[in-house]
Structure 1
Amino acid sequence: MLTRMTWLFRRMSRMYWQEVPFRVASVLRANLRRHGIGSAQRPPPMSGDSRFGNAWVDVLALKTQRADAKSSGLANAQELLIYGHPVRLNDGLPDWTADPVSGLQVPAKFGLDIDFRHLPGLDIKFLWEINRHAWWVELAMDWAMAQDEAALDRLAANIDSWIIANPYPVGPNWASPVEHGIRLINWSIVWHVIGGDTSRIFQRETGRVRLQTWLKCIYQHVHFAADNYSFYSSADNHLIGEAAGVFVASHTWDCWQDVRDKRKAAKRILETEALKQFAADGVNREQALSYHKFSLQFLIAAGLVGLVNGDDFSGAFWERLQAALVYLAAQTDCVGNVPTYGDSDDGDVWSLRPTSASSWLEMLALASRLTSDPIIESKCASLGVSPEDVAAWLPPGACGRASGGGTPSRTELPRHFLEGGYVILGAQLHERGEARAVFDCGPLGYNKVGGHAHADALSLILSVGGTPVLRDSGTYCYNASPEWRRFFRSTAAHNTLTIDGEDQSVYGSSFLWLRDVHCTVVSTGQGEVQEVHACHDGFRRLRDPVMHHRRVRMDAAGSLEVQDWLECRESHHVKLHWHVGTQCTVTDGNRSMSWQLRFEGHTLELSIDGPVECSSVIVGQEDPPQGWASERFYSKRPAEVIVIAATLAPGTVLTTRVVPLDIHGNAK
């Protein structure tokens, strides 16, 4: 109770003043719904002009493309794999309301009363991932592409089972409206792939009952999502997801007049939020690349549905999607990896990719077709990605819809995204031997709370030939282990400075920062030597207010120089962290304050100049946590971090150099 009350007080401290009456009204509305007043328990009769919308997935093209497709075997599987954890299936059905890790059941009470952030002994992420039903799409695909009749039967059994186990509005699957948005989008794909209302599973009396029961549940989903939109300080990817689910569902199942009204409202939200949550240069303002992709998937689904149903979005909407797709392509390295800044839970809203392809490469292929950008097409070709694998299921008119009205005239992908807060420096960028540095010069997250952002201002990530050399530590978990959640979000888990032992911001909870951090880009330069100089105000709260400045330079040979200094009145104790890639080995260098980083036939020397007091290489320390890498959600392993302790007086500079060495140990 103390934890919950502390969280509530901190959360309220970050709300907008206009949000207070909205929150009060939300509580009153939830109380009415709890007692059945204004609820969707009994949907109204369908409109006389009810219709099922046009498919935004070209199923016929999918069948042609994947004529030799083999079944995934999911129809006969005994378990699912969620975040690397096996989830037992009983006759093909999971336990919809139990945590698959601990086995604990979430109470079957009014969904909005469930405090899913503080459920003792479990993390609801596992349960929700099962209930998003992306794996139902795979069952539908197995039936449509591989003629696996058992897959269709199992899908029908799952639909029946889920509706029975999750009555509106009770239980953990009625606790968060963004989950409804995700489910509705996956249900829409399933609907179109299996043939809509003409599908075999809706035939005969049993099938007709199933169809009516599912339609009722769909109506309740739309009502619940639209009734509980995440406005104000909660308006991040959740609001986009909720509105996208309502918009997609209201066109897929265009059967009720009040749902049509909700569709209009959802479209207005999506038009507004696409421009608010993505900067003009395409960067998602949550400062987490995984959620950049997540929000894009919501917006693309809504955009395609509107396109095929005569309810297209504005040119401004599609132009913002174009910018976001170009940014994603620019951040993709020469082997198809992307930097893991901010939170990443490995989640996807939906996917139709072959199981062998990554969701990042699927998004790159989508970017190529939706923008018709020859530079992105060239990027796909260099990675062996065929955009045709995606174009095959895009509906008519989708290719080039996000082109912004013409073919771009640029000759390379952009490097500077100053409004969004990222600069890419590189030698031979997008070629196999590239050296690539990603510099974070953006604010701390979005909308005051910074829910998915890390305290990583002025952090730097370096890769060579696609191998991480200086890495981001990752995410690891959300609610399961508060102490680990705090570490992986902390400044000390990133390649930047801590000052006087403090984070750049004040930690509030797993998805809450209590102070804003702003960055200012002082200057940039391009040429033989690329350069960017920025500073941030996160340490202005100290007794002696401090501005941290960092200048990053990279030359044509891929040598990197980083200068750190403080704008302040007094001297301060700092720690500089360089988290080394897990594929690198760290050994002492040939001179003081230098280390050699070796990987795949390459050797780089990292050296430090300045008023250093001591240094250490830490691996797998637990108390306090340091020296860990999380390369996928719910996975962590010991990894080396070079920690430099120094005292910086005003104007004193701490310089880091990372230089490639030849076989004789000389700088190249």
Structure 2
Amino acid sequence: MTSLAWKVNRLRLMGLAEIAWRVKQAVSMKAGGLGFGLALRPPAPDLDRSGARFVAQPPAMIDSATVCTAAERILAGQWDVFALRGAPLGFPPQWNRDPKTGTVAPMISGKLINYRSEQQVGNIKYLWEPNRHLELVTLAQAWRLSGDERYRDGVRTLLQSWFDQCPYPQGVHWSSALELAVRLLNWAFAWDLLGGMSSALFDGVDGQRFLRQWLDVIYQHCDFIQGYFSRHSSANNHLFGEYAGLFVASVTWPQWPQSARWQAMALRGLEREAQLQNCPDGVNREQAVYYQHEVMDMMLLCLLVGRANGIKFSPAYTQQLERLAEFLAALLDAGGHMPMIGDGDDALMVRLAHQPGWSPFCSLLASCALLFERADFKRQAGRFDEKTAWLFGAAGAALWEDLPVVDAAPPRLAFPDGGYFLLGHRFGRADEVRLVMDCAPLGYLSIAAHGHADALAILLSLGGEEFLIDPGTYTYRAESGWRDYFRSTAAHNTLSIDDCDQSVIGGNFMWLKKARARLLAHSAEGALQVVEGEHDGYARLADPVMHRRKVELDTQANCIVVTDTVSCAARHRVRLHWHFSEHCQVALHDGRAEALGQRSSLRLHCEGAEMAVLRGGAEPGPGWISRRYDRKVPTATVACSVAVHGTTTIRTVITFQPLPG
């Protein structure tokens, strides 16, 4: 898509108020580029004022060797940035050089840089990621655990190099308010771990000079954020992150007269957006589970930082966090797998855990188990993880032990506001069946930036083992075609008409026409369970088509019947795709797809369809799964093709059983 076409599509999704606001922002950016309205000389900080410490004294369960090993890799100049593992970026790195393409971003006013242009800045996600400074927290943790001054001095080396290479307001790291906000979150945690104002980093004349320089840049970050909040159709998780960064910074560093205003502004924004961006039933409106995790993490961190400083959030805020946790608990299967619904980019607000196999979702449930004294959350979380240990300390570990060990129980099965419905039985047990059906909106606000065209898709886990999956996101780069494939209808366990998507893509993070899904029936009690829904995404075709799907689960017969009805008048080519976990062995036998897992087997037969197994083609298309950003591996997709003429019903029968032994 050309830049002009993108701009036209973006304009189509704006109202007059947003257009006026963006014109005003453009004028402000131009003025900033000319040196007007900048915080070039921050006011002197009041060094007698400082926020309360909020990082807990870590309990003995923290593995200091693992943390120090991670810190040593950083000191050795080895960085993990998405698909790049152990990349030799140096210590300190070149902060304006994209580690993937080698492109060096220009040193002009950050607000005049087109960070979407790969020619100008390289791959912006790879360039921004190290500049969020999660590594500073790792070094600070290692110092806190070991007392080795090399780690503490490493924090200063990285910060000083960043100040030198990225002077306010020059370069791409002064272009996105969200990036500044996440950087502030990590600076706040590193600051606290190193001892705050009493840190030996600030001893002597040189130390005091470094302290003043850091505080000046913190002030400039806060001033920048409060002038460039994401608004209107962009007011999604970015806006939440901007408020979170400003809140934590204004609480941690209350040294300026403006700090109180920033804190009040951010607190109001967090309270408001916690309700606007999340459904009453606990589903984040972006319809992207990983972004739900990010919003929850920011809610949690702000809540804990606020509590340590005597700042209370409303009961509505904390209740919303608990409801969000209930949705995660409902989706998490007995094996600890979380479906990859919607976009996901592997982002962490702050990296506090380094233990192998750490799960951000289980960690959130562990923290919420302590916050709300929920034994069911404790059961789903499985363990008291390192991140929760840093946040709650020894008192949290004691409370964890005091929470009772409870038997598995059914989670909430209906999320009518968010649009997700569960069927299944023996939840949380070794022989559980957990099926999720998507009757959700496409996404949030007019652009629905992080939604996927997945209406009426189903996901299936058997005994804690994934079978029918969502293949994930893979990339945010549109040029290769993979971005559009992974969010397409063909990339989900649902039905497409004439190889069209249910919703119409308008850009990299933009949808023009959006399928509207609605629930028709949901009964999750007894041996025979049913969920049924429909969507109008294909009503836009010359011969309008409605898609209705009914899913019936017979828990006694271990059988699922999926009945798809396409209501139309003319001829159409209907395709159903069934995406399997990469851990399943899938093959066709006698017109049926057989999938063999490690503990269960499954058979799938689509009546009257031509069936094929697709795996890992060179062009964007079925047969791939991406569990990490910018990495994909082949998997099996069963493609079923049916030619229809007029209203037709297509029946898919899925049977499953545990393997012997």
TM-score bucket of the superposed structures, by smaller chain: over 0.9
| 3-state SS of 1:325 partner | helix
The letter for the 1-side match of 2:509 is F
- Given that 1:16 and 1:233 are in contact with CA atoms closer than 8 Å, whether structure 2 keeps it comes out as no
Query: What is aligned with 1:362?
Result: 363
Distance 1:170 1:398, change over 3 A: farther
Name the stretch that deviates more: 74-83 or 341-350. 74-83
- 1:17 paired with 2:16, answer yes
User: What is the CA–CA distance in structure 2 between the aligned matches of 1:20 and 1:7, rounded to whole Å?
Assistant: 15
- Given that 2:341 and 2:472 are in contact with CA atoms closer than 8 Å, whether structure 1 keeps it comes out as yes
Query: What is aligned with 1:56?
Result: 54
The letter for the 1-side match of 2:504 is V
| 3-state SS of 1:625 partner | coil
Percent identity between the two aligned chains: 34
User: What is the CA–CA distance in structure 1 between the aligned matches of 2:658 and 2:394, rounded to whole Å?
Assistant: 53
- Given that 1:566 and 1:649 are in contact with CA atoms closer than 8 Å, whether structure 2 keeps it comes out as no
- 1:653 paired with 2:649, answer yes
Shift of 1:432: 2.4
Shift of 1:355: 2.6
Counterparts in 2 of 1:217-236, with a 5 A limit? 217-236=217-236
Deviation string 1:526-567 (CA, Å, 9 cap, x unpaired) is 222221111111111111222211111222244222111123
- 1:117 paired with 2:116, answer yes
User: What is the CA–CA distance in structure 1 between the aligned matches of 2:80 and 2:620, rounded to whole Å?
Assistant: 32
| 3-state SS of 1:607 partner | strand
User: What is the CA–CA distance in structure 2 between the aligned matches of 1:524 and 1:507, rounded to whole Å?
Assistant: 30
Shift of 1:657: 1.5
The letter for the 1-side match of 2:92 is L
- 1:470 paired with 2:484, answer no
Query: What is aligned with 1:508?
Result: 506
Structure 1: which 5+ runs fail to align?
402-407
User: What is the CA–CA distance in structure 2 between the aligned matches of 1:538 and 1:358, rounded to whole Å?
Assistant: 35
Deviation string 1:362-404 (CA, Å, 9 cap, x unpaired) is 1121121122112112323xx3x12697256328999999xxx
- Given that 2:531 and 2:552 are in contact with CA atoms closer than 8 Å, whether structure 1 keeps it comes out as yes
The letter for the 2-side match of 1:370 is L
Query: What is aligned with 1:72?
Result: 69
- Given that 2:442 and 2:514 are in contact with CA atoms closer than 8 Å, whether structure 1 keeps it comes out as yes
Shift of 1:253: 0.2
- Given that 1:56 and 1:394 are in contact with CA atoms closer than 8 Å, whether structure 2 keeps it comes out as no
Distance 1:131 1:389, change over 3 A: closer
- Given that 1:304 and 1:395 are in contact with CA atoms closer than 8 Å, whether structure 2 keeps it comes out as no
Distance 1:50 1:240, change over 3 A: farther
Shift of 1:588: 2.1
User: What is the CA–CA distance in structure 1 between the aligned matches of 2:262 and 2:658, rounded to whole Å?
Assistant: 64
- Given that 1:372 and 1:400 are in contact with CA atoms closer than 8 Å, whether structure 2 keeps it comes out as no
Deviation string 1:333-357 (CA, Å, 9 cap, x unpaired) is 1121100111111111113224322
- Given that 1:369 and 1:399 are in contact with CA atoms closer than 8 Å, whether structure 2 keeps it comes out as no
Counterparts in 2 of 1:620-635, with a 5 A limit? 620-623=616-619, 625-635=621-631
Distance 1:50 1:538, change over 3 A: farther
Query: What is aligned with 1:85?
Result: 84
Counterparts in 2 of 1:186-197, with a 5 A limit? 186-197=186-197
Distance 1:477 1:598, change over 3 A: same
Deviation string 1:226-260 (CA, Å, 9 cap, x unpaired) is 11100100001000000110011000000112232
- Given that 2:79 and 2:89 are in contact with CA atoms closer than 8 Å, whether structure 1 keeps it comes out as no
User: What is the CA–CA distance in structure 2 between the aligned matches of 1:203 and 1:67, rounded to whole Å?
Assistant: 30
User: What is the CA–CA distance in structure 2 between the aligned matches of 1:489 and 1:267, rounded to whole Å?
Assistant: 34
- 1:101 paired with 2:100, answer yes
Query: What is aligned with 1:312?
Result: 312
Distance 1:522 1:249, change over 3 A: same
| 3-state SS of 2:502 partner | coil
User: What is the CA–CA distance in structure 1 between the aligned matches of 2:397 and 2:249, rounded to whole Å?
Assistant: 23
Shift of 1:601: 4.7
Name the stretch that deviates more: 539-548 or 453-462. 539-548
Counterparts in 2 of 1:161-310, with a 5 A limit? 161-310=161-310
User: What is the CA–CA distance in structure 2 between the aligned matches of 1:400 and 1:426, rounded to whole Å?
Assistant: 34
User: What is the CA–CA distance in structure 1 between the aligned matches of 2:138 and 2:301, rounded to whole Å?
Assistant: 17
Distance 1:595 1:73, change over 3 A: closer
Counterparts in 2 of 1:477-492, with a 5 A limit? 477-479=475-477, 481-492=479-490
Shift of 1:88: 4.7
- Given that 2:422 and 2:524 are in contact with CA atoms closer than 8 Å, whether structure 1 keeps it comes out as no
- Given that 1:375 and 1:412 are in contact with CA atoms closer than 8 Å, whether structure 2 keeps it comes out as no
Normalized against structure 1, the TM-score is what?
0.92
Deviation string 1:259-298 (CA, Å, 9 cap, x unpaired) is 3212211111111110011101111111111100011111
Query: What is aligned with 1:583?
Result: 583
| 3-state SS of 2:153 partner | helix
- Given that 1:56 and 1:395 are in contact with CA atoms closer than 8 Å, whether structure 2 keeps it comes out as no
- Given that 2:76 and 2:91 are in contact with CA atoms closer than 8 Å, whether structure 1 keeps it comes out as yes
- Given that 1:497 and 1:577 are in contact with CA atoms closer than 8 Å, whether structure 2 keeps it comes out as yes
| 3-state SS of 1:280 partner | coil
The letter for the 2-side match of 1:549 is R
Which residue, out of 516, 519, 531, partners 2:517? Answer: 519
Aligned length: 646
Query: What is aligned with 2:32?
Result: 33
- Given that 1:370 and 1:399 are in contact with CA atoms closer than 8 Å, whether structure 2 keeps it comes out as no
Name the stretch that deviates more: 282-291 or 529-538. 529-538
The letter for the 2-side match of 1:628 is W
Distance 1:601 1:296, change over 3 A: closer
- Given that 2:76 and 2:90 are in contact with CA atoms closer than 8 Å, whether structure 1 keeps it comes out as no
User: What is the CA–CA distance in structure 2 between the aligned matches of 1:399 and 1:257, rounded to whole Å?
Assistant: 38
| 3-state SS of 1:636 partner | strand
User: What is the CA–CA distance in structure 2 between the aligned matches of 1:16 and 1:400, rounded to whole Å?
Assistant: 53
User: What is the CA–CA distance in structure 1 between the aligned matches of 2:154 and 2:659, rounded to whole Å?
Assistant: 59
The letter for the 2-side match of 1:363 is L
Query: What is aligned with 2:536?
Result: 537
| 3-state SS of 2:563 partner | strand
Distance 1:398 1:450, change over 3 A: farther
User: What is the CA–CA distance in structure 2 between the aligned matches of 1:181 and 1:68, rounded to whole Å?
Assistant: 28
| 3-state SS of 1:18 partner | helix
The letter for the 2-side match of 1:428 is R
The letter for the 2-side match of 1:334 is A
Distance 1:400 1:367, change over 3 A: farther
Shift of 1:110: 1.2
Query: What is aligned with 2:346?
Result: 346
- 1:393 paired with 2:394, answer no
Distance 1:124 1:605, change over 3 A: same
The letter for the 2-side match of 1:225 is I
User: What is the CA–CA distance in structure 2 between the aligned matches of 1:586 and 1:442, rounded to whole Å?
Assistant: 29
User: What is the CA–CA distance in structure 2 between the aligned matches of 1:663 and 1:199, rounded to whole Å?
Assistant: 59
- Given that 1:281 and 1:420 are in contact with CA atoms closer than 8 Å, whether structure 2 keeps it comes out as yes
User: What is the CA–CA distance in structure 2 between the aligned matches of 1:355 and 1:395, rounded to whole Å?
Assistant: 17
Query: What is aligned with 2:379?
Result: 378
Query: What is aligned with 2:494?
Result: 496
User: What is the CA–CA distance in structure 2 between the aligned matches of 1:637 and 1:65, rounded to whole Å?
Assistant: 35
Query: What is aligned with 1:331?
Result: 331
- Given that 1:297 and 1:350 are in contact with CA atoms closer than 8 Å, whether structure 2 keeps it comes out as no
Structure 2: which 5+ runs fail to align?
400-405
- Given that 2:33 and 2:112 are in contact with CA atoms closer than 8 Å, whether structure 1 keeps it comes out as no
Query: What is aligned with 1:405?
Result: none
The letter for the 2-side match of 1:152 is R
The letter for the 1-side match of 2:561 is E
Distance 1:442 1:471, change over 3 A: same
Deviation string 1:388-437 (CA, Å, 9 cap, x unpaired) is 97256328999999xxxxxx9x9642121111111122232111222222
Query: What is aligned with 1:553?
Result: 552
User: What is the CA–CA distance in structure 2 between the aligned matches of 1:435 and 1:12, rounded to whole Å?
Assistant: 45
User: What is the CA–CA distance in structure 2 between the aligned matches of 1:253 and 1:119, rounded to whole Å?
Assistant: 36
The letter for the 1-side match of 2:613 is V
- Supply the RMSD in Å over aligned alpha carbons: 2.4
User: What is the CA–CA distance in structure 2 between the aligned matches of 1:69 and 1:577, rounded to whole Å?
Assistant: 46
Query: What is aligned with 1:417?
Result: 415
Distance 1:663 1:204, change over 3 A: closer
| 3-state SS of 1:622 partner | coil
- Given that 2:465 and 2:599 are in contact with CA atoms closer than 8 Å, whether structure 1 keeps it comes out as no
Query: What is aligned with 1:404?
Result: none
Shift of 1:575: 0.7
Distance 1:64 1:344, change over 3 A: same
| 3-state SS of 2:548 partner | strand
